[in-house]
Structure 1
Amino acid sequence: MSDLDPYEYLDEEPEEEATELHPGQSEVYSDLFIEQLMRFAVVVCSRGWGKSYLAAVAAVTAVFELLELDIKVPNKNVYIIAPTYDQVKDIYFPIIFYELGMENHVIKASKDTGRFLFPNNVELRLVSFEAVERLRGKGAYFVVGDEISSWKKGITPKEAWEGIIQPCIVTRWSEERRKKFGARSAGRALIISTPKGYNILYDMFHFQEKDSLWKSYHYDYHSSPFLDPAEIDRIRHTIDPIEFASEYLASFTESGNSVFYCFKRERNVDNTIADFHDTEDVHICIDFNVGLQCSSVFALRGKQMEFLDEFKGHPDTEQLAIAIATRYKGHKIYAYPDPSGKSRKTSAAVGRTDFSILESKGIRCLAHKKAPPIIDSVAAVNRMLYTAAGETHLRVHPRCEGTIKSLERTSWVDKNPDTAAIDKSAGEEHFSDGVRYGTEYLFPVLRGSKPVARGFAF
């Protein structure tokens, strides 16, 4: 093995001024490399916190760990992935090559290709998310996922992580292979980003709740020694509160993109909601869609909508109707479907509609003659979720994961509520579409063509 110490370079005296990790950066670095408390770190932080520098230091540390290994050990690769190639090379090449002194250790480096070649067949590569599929089938000892909330072009970030990046790590650098090759650690990753609403970063941030290999960190602008509080206070007066919350408070919840902006897990998700009693009526919101048939089941208790169950994945309305009637046999069942189902047939035989199929199984359908304006149904749901007086009339049991995610993640096209167009590109809207139909039918808000008001929720 090489006699290089992978941590020694941090203490070397550079020719000019030394750059040290600030307390937040040091916490993450120590947990990941010194204490090795986890293999996957998720850092959610504000602008100006020092994401790129920490990511570069982490990547270089991984390189030095690999330099300890025999030349014959395979897959000695470190990758830094950023949204675009211009970003990844313009930000990271100068930090790694000059500021961290890797010009003194590389055999060859190229900013144009984003490659750093080291002795012992060790390589550090700068990769754009646009080209992430080129990593398919390769091995990675360490990966940085930079600004994952801004990974846009090509496949989705979720597909990239689950189908390409994570397999690069766990299939080539498992704990067993670490022991075999004498490496300091099994494969690891650092996911570091400023949040932009509910997306894969939000999911990853919560992985620590069910997997001890993950650990998450949250740092707002107060944690950065690089930001002047007076400047931030000035910015506070020049941008809207939603953007400020995302960029400087590193907040997921106030993304400015959420249709159901009054939904908050802490007040709308409740595991104490009682199940249906034997004779209680069952109410179901349904979004017709072949192969999905997303349906949210609730109890109507006074003016409270309490969601207790959900259905998803039935191939057509016939199979959904059978499943509902079977599960809730002995109950009166009321459905609130998409009004277009009165005439539309979701993979049904000629002469049968979605409504007639449901009613043939004893499910009564309640719907307007035509769908209400989106802004009206959205306003109805938001009012049930939380009123200006601080009242909550819509709660969801944690078992209804699809309904919860849909209420959290349904977003406006181009982040613009004034268009009253819901973004359907990610397929997050199916459960919440059904909730809109049922809520607006039972508790309508007559708003005409006015845009959805934001007001108190922010």
Structure 2
Amino acid sequence: MPCTVDINKSEHTVKLIIGGDVYATVKCRSMEHPGRIVGFDISHALIDEIDCMKKEKADAAWKKIVARMSSVRDDYPINTVDFTTTPEGFNWMYEFFVKQLREKPELKKFYSLVKASTLKNRKNLPDDYIPKLYATYPSNLVDAYVNGEFVNLTSGGVYTCYDRSLNNTDRSIKDSDHLHIGMDFNVGKMSAIVHVEDTVKDVNKANSAPLKITSAVDEFMGLLDTPAMIKAIETKYPNHRITIYPDASGQNRKSSNASETDISLQG
């Protein structure tokens, strides 16, 4: 028997009509304002892309939605909720369906997680869709957006792009090197990375301009404050020309002398 629909834009509802009878009513609501998810009862909910929301708002929306699940169905004794979403790191979906169920296994009778890879939908996609994703995304985004895995998307962004064959170096510091030191100001946890620059010819391009290659060759970690860092650098590299590239927030921190900022100490 064919199904027709009656769309009510003002009420944000869609009625499914079979044989002249209303078989079901779909109520569309936005999760942008969880406090507005009130005043109706349903027996099934389909929640889309909840992991794109901040955890606090996602959790507030979930609590409002589950409170609406009070409609009684004659054909099925249990009301249900489905989530469909791209995993966005260790966000709400991970907390709810992985961490929570690991810590409280008794909840597994209520909740379950199904991971689906984009690769399984290949036959319904353009031929170049998946290759373009692989060409565009770094490996961690491929794991999340193609394979449906929970991965860290908020930190370690540099390391995930690190290739040992391309980025590793055995360059050591020479007496003639000009040292370029990037410094992070954290009182009690000072750190600095020492770099050197080399100019080389691009062997792949004839008559091209020389290439400048920067290599990280040393580090200072865990020093108490800026004076301690200065002393450590001067002790280890007393005869080198040195340029310091300070963290901009350093001008707002003071290590010891109230009249001198960390950046002025560097100078």
TM, length-normalised to structure 1: 0.31
Structure richer in strand, relative to its length: 2
Structure richer in helix, relative to its length: 1
Q: Structure with the greater relative contact order (CA < 8 A, sep ≥ 6): 1 or 2? A: 1
TM, length-normalised to structure 2: 0.50
Q: Computing the radius of gyration over CA atoms, which structure comes out larger, 1 or 2?
A: 2
